[in-house]
Amino acid sequence: MYIIIISKLFSTMKLDFYLEDNVMRESCSKCGAEYEVQRIKLPMRDKDSEHCECGNLLRSWNGAEMWDYQLIKHGNTYKEK
């Protein structure tokens, strides 16, 4: 979702960004949810953070990059709706 929004934003601003080739896996230290994570380099500073579905902080950043997290396995605190 972030990639599409950023792509549209940057295409109108005539800026370049790119995805790193390597996709990492990370898990939440609180609930064990698993995520695929990809670093995105940006031409300008971005300050943001990513939280797990349980609310635990996974990563925060403040630089010319952002991180895209895709949930691949729910943690042990997940409740189906």
- Report which DSSP code applies to 32: -
Alpha carbons within 13 angstroms on the beta-carbon side of residue 22 total 3
Question: Quick one: residue 55, left, alpha or beta (phi over 0 = left, psi -120 to 50 = alpha)?
Answer: left
| pLDDT at position 8 | 47
pLDDT by 10s per residue, the chain, length 81: 444 444 444 444 444 445 556 788 999 999 999 999 999 889 999 999 999 999 999 999 999 999 999 999 999 986 766
- The pLDDT, as a whole number, for residue 23 is 85
For the record, the structure tokens of 32 come out as 């064990």
Tokens of 4: 């599409």
Per-residue pLDDT at 57:
96
Residue pair 41/17 in contact (Cβ under 8 Å)? The answer is yes
How far apart are alpha carbons 26 and 48 in whole angstroms?
A: 18
